[in-house]
Amino acid sequence: MTISLKPFTTFNIQATAQHLVQATTAEQLAAAWQQAKDQAQPVLILGGGSNVLLLDDFAGTVILNQIQGIDITENDEHWLLHVGAGENWHHLVSFTLEHNMPGLENLALIPGCAGSAPIQNIGAYGIEIKHVCDYVDCIELATGATLRLSAAECRFGYRDSIFKHDYQDRYAITALGLKLPKAWQPVLSYGDLTRLSPATVTPRQVFDAVCHMRMTKLPDPKVQGNAGSFFKNPVVSAATADTLLGMYPNAPHYPQPDGQVKLAAGWLIDRCELKGFQVGGAAVHSQQALVLVNIDNATSKDVVQLAHQVRQRVGDKFGIWLEPEVRFIGSRGEVSAVETIA
């Protein structure tokens, strides 16, 4: 007997697993992983299933990380939150505002669970997890030993962390420590937020503006299956950016501390006139080109072929090769997303 994974991923694409375990404690999570390994089964740990594309039926055990809890302490300068990995991210953002602990409002409406946030170093509208992370708690799956990593030890990068590399298969995240400054400073450098006044704006106004931007530009996964932003915003050399800006002076671009320049993948895709472009049941979203959507019972092959076409068109036009932000999961675990769509 197999179990459908369609309800547990936001792309709403049909795939199955041999077994499904819902873990509400770190001990349950490790025990389920160890049992699967004892039976020589591959294991996939999912949170909200919001940043994955299941390429095939999964030939093993899927563990849903549903560890809950939000504990709050404070010192003179910060609110300190200890958040279970299975807590819904947007609910957490709302919770902090309701309790007068701002700092996460720019990250409103990002789908998924708290435990996934450090893996991707999620970010939006000028804020990334690395800016507010204090620590990440993990469990070593093979032994059940616990480990706390400082933010520095997480090796956060652009949509990247140690959890995508050294710790990918050995550890699972069980909790996230957040440090929110009591001396709140708004971050208003992106999108409609630039229209707000730093002197008078409130955290709730930033939250409302972010929610409005996301709801008007991004499809609701409950209505139209998707995995959020499908591609990373490319980070290129200053010379490459200068060449692009010489041809398109109004192209969105964001200088980085290391001298490189981040470009807007959605803008590049849009300039290739790909909004609405469809392969099978998958399409480029008609309003936000960065999002690929399941509009008519798409298969994973539809999405892969669509992503290939988008990457190829952007590469041919601009000489810039996009990389997926979404994790690609094969029958026995994660595979290279770039190689899959190349």
314-332: per-residue pLDDT in tens? 999 999 999 999 999 999 9
What is the percent of the chain with per-residue pLDDT over 90, rounded to a whole number? 94
CA angle 235, 11, 305 (to 5 degrees): 65
Range of weakest confidence among 6-20, 94-108, 158-172, 269-283: 158-172
Range of weakest confidence among 21-35, 121-135, 217-231, 237-251: 217-231
Mean pLDDT of the chain: 96
**pLDDT band at residue 217 using 50, 70 and 90 as cut-offs:** confident
pLDDT of residue 143: 95
- Measured CA to CA in angstroms, residue 51 lies from 159, 208, 325 at distances of 11, 24, 8
Structure tokens at 193: 């937020």
pLDDT of residue 293: 97
Q: What is the pTM of this model?
A: 0.92
pLDDT of residue 190: 87
Asked whether the predicted pLDDT for residue 176 surpasses 90, the reply is yes
Do 325 and 230 contact (CB within 8 A), yes or no? yes
126-142: per-residue pLDDT in tens? 999 999 999 999 999 99
pLDDT of residue 218: 86
Task: Report H helices in the chain.
Answer: 26-38, 89-98, 117-120, 203-217, 238-247, 265-271, 300-318, 337-341
Q: What gap in Å lies between CA 49 and CA 7, rounded to an integer?
A: 9
**Residue 4 falls in the annotated catalytic set:** no
Structure tokens at 280: 């099978």
Catalytic residue among 50, 116, 161, 229: 229
**Residue 161 falls in the annotated catalytic set:** no
Bridge partners (DSSP) of residue 71 are 82
**Mean pLDDT over residues 202-218, rounded?**
94
**Residue 229 falls in the annotated catalytic set:** yes
**Mean pLDDT over residues 218-247, rounded?**
94
Do 61 and 334 contact (CB within 8 A), yes or no? no
Asked whether the predicted pLDDT for residue 1 surpasses 80, the reply is no
| Secondary structure element (H or E) that encloses residue 227, with its range | strand 225-229
37-75: per-residue pLDDT in tens? 999 999 999 999 999 999 999 999 999 999 999 999 999
pLDDT of residue 222: 87
pLDDT of residue 149: 98
Catalytic residue among 87, 105, 128, 325: 325
